[in-house]
Amino acid sequence: MEFCPRCGKLMTPVRKEGKVVLKCINCGYEEEPRSEKKLVIKHEVQHSPQERTVVIEERKIDLSATVKAKCPRCGYNRAYFWMVQTRAADEPSTRFFKCARCGYVWREYD
Ligand SMILES: [Zn+2]
Ligand SMILES: [Zn+2]
């Protein structure tokens, strides 16, 4: 809830030129809603359980082959790996490694 900085009355969301602005019915003061950002964050949160599902599924599929990668824990140089597109398509996908000897899992960015 937003209150008018001029008169202190409750601001009401109204449609104006294709977007929603907050308007004070009492004195006519208008403001770009700060809640627009909140809506975006809410959207991302809703997606995260889905992302987790993708990670689990790809782990099942791609654990068949090993690549040359040094385990940061035991120093062994063979590891399973799989790629996960964790976020939007314009962000780099994350590469996960799992040590073939000790099972340690770590991630690397391209
Ligand atoms: Zn007002
Ligand atoms: Zn290891």
- The environment of the single-atom ion ligand 2, i.e. residues with CB closer than 5 A, is 71, 73-74, 76, 99, 101-102, 104
Do the beta carbons of residue 9 and residue 23 sit within 8 Å?
A: no
pLDDT value at residue 90:
74
**Is the CA virtual torsion 84, 86, 89, 91 positive or negative?**
negative
Expressed in angstroms and rounded, the spacing between residue 42 Cα and the centre of ligand 1 is 29
pLDDT value at residue 58:
47
Q: Which residues have a catalytic role annotated?
A: 90-91
pLDDT value at residue 31:
85
Do the beta carbons of residue 75 and residue 68 sit within 8 Å?
A: no
User: In the chain, which residues have pLDDT < 70?
Assistant: 33-64, 86-89, 109-110
- What tokens does 48 get? 């995260």
pLDDT value at residue 6:
92
- What tokens does 33 get? 């809603």
CA–CA separation, 43 vs 40, rounded Å? 5
Ligand nearest to the CA of 79: 2
Give the 3-state secondary structure of residue 38.
helix
pLDDT value at residue 15:
87
